[in-house]
Amino acid sequence: MEKNPIHVLFLCTHNSARSILAEALLNHLGGGRFKAYSAGSSPRENQQPNPLAIETLNNAGIATTGLTSKSWDVFSSPDAPQMDLVITVCDNAAGETCPYWPGQPATAHWGYEDPSAGQASQDEKRIAFIKTLHMIRKRLEIFVNLPEAGLSRLRIQQTARELSQS
């Protein structure tokens, strides 16, 4: 009998860069054991992720179909998928009051600098996006390789929080 995947929601204020990278990367690495989503408290109005996030993912061979910037309210409704883990990936989202998540999922904070911030050139921002993707990948590769027995609710939260220190 096939088990249901572990549902993980990545949060960032605008849901256009870091959370999008994390969503796509976990879905890529997760081997069906995980289903990743992303959202933000103030998503981009046009619902389009940062073009450099999409470019970075495409260049890394990671699927980008269906990625959109969306409000975290989408995941707090009764008919939304129930999350097992919610990870904030920016300091702003970590400090905000999150909505109630059905099922009271485990939580963790993995802070990354915003690769799209500042007045850097496009080439400098491209490099920042690549570095951010690599930092996210480092944590997610450890996470997805946990043995099945290591994926209890308590262990998921403990591991996610431990990974914030690496």
Which tokens belong to 106?
A: 């485990």
Neighbours of 3 (CB within 10 A): 9
Which residues are known catalytic residues?
12, 90, 98
Residue 10 main-chain phi, psi, to 5 deg: -100, 130
Phi and psi of 38, rounded to 5°? -145, 155
What residues contact 12, with CB distance under 8 A and at least 6 apart? 18, 19, 38, 40, 88, 89, 90, 92, 93
Residue-wise over 66-104: b if at least 16 C-beta within 10 A, else e?
ebbbbebeebeeeebeebbbbbbbbeebbebebeebeee
